[in-house]
Amino acid sequence: MISARTRVFGLVGHPVRHSLSPAMYNELFRRTGIDAVYVAFDVHPDRADEVASAVRVLDLVGVNLTVPFKERVLPHLDRVTVAASEAGAVNTVIQVEGTLTGYNTDGEGLVRSLEADGGSLRGRRAVILGAGGTARAVASALLDRGVAAVSFFNRTLSRAEAAIAALQSQVAGAPLRAWTLSPQAFAEGAAGADLVVNCTSGPAASLVATLDAAVLSRGADWVDANYWMAAPPQRARCEALGHHFHEGHAMLMHQGALAFELFTGNPVEVSEIRDILGLP
């Protein structure tokens, strides 16, 4: 039962009605006996600069953030972790006595999901589609795991170059390269790569579908961070080529487990989240 003592957590994004997070976190609260509730806040992007103030004013204990709030909330926080600083974005904010601390679990969630499938990331050549906060978080986590190189492909080349500049300030001499997100550039820059992570938003799906996955090394891994898409671009093509296609649910579950522990101090097994969401 919700009472005056119930702690409130939430998701801030636009849109958010497709999110699995409320079902996931509320069931975890129920199973662990924590007096808390998790709700979705659909906030217009024009109000992004007011999100931190709203968390304070409403005394929210913690929130998850989606695009474009991940980057725009940064100047309004009191503290950020090293991972969040490297990513230039946060996806989790915790409030303790009025102090807001920003975390980023996207990158760690992604690499843990791949490692859970038994794959080492050291020495791999990675391609990241997109150059926003999620893409930078993923790149940072991959570099921490020892990948051989990371190439960013983004519709706006300058944004990919900015992502590289930010990461190189944190990881000296990192093997990074920026490309325009186009079929021609992908054919050249992704040739022989063995890992692709699609961090672009939904509107880029038609462009991602035009990329030739045949240029990747045989048996490459393709991860799509957009777990909500019924037919992710490249899934059928990757499967036909013998590549390993990973939908975003695994990343969601791992980063969700990390965020739940940040929220409550209680660790949770990914298998329990899988059971809650009814995933195979």
Enzyme catalytic residues: 70
Q: At what angle do helices 106-116 and 133-144 cross, to 10 degrees?
A: 50
Here the tokens at position 101 are: 């601390």
Longest dimension (CA), the chain: 59
φ, ψ dihedrals at 9, nearest 5°: -120, 165
- Give the separation between CA 119 and CA 244, rounded to whole angstroms: 11
DSSP string, 48-99: GGGHHHHHHHTT-SEEEE-TTHHHHTGGG-SEE-HHHHHHT--SEEEEETTE
Q: Which helix (H) or strand (E) holds 170?
A: helix 157-170
CA angle 99, 100, 105 (to 5 degrees): 145
Tell me, what amino acid is at 169? S
**First-to-last CA distance in the chain?**
31
Contact by Cβ (8 Å): 73, 52: yes
Distance of CA 44 to CAs 49, 63, 215, 238, Å?
Answer: 11, 16, 39, 35
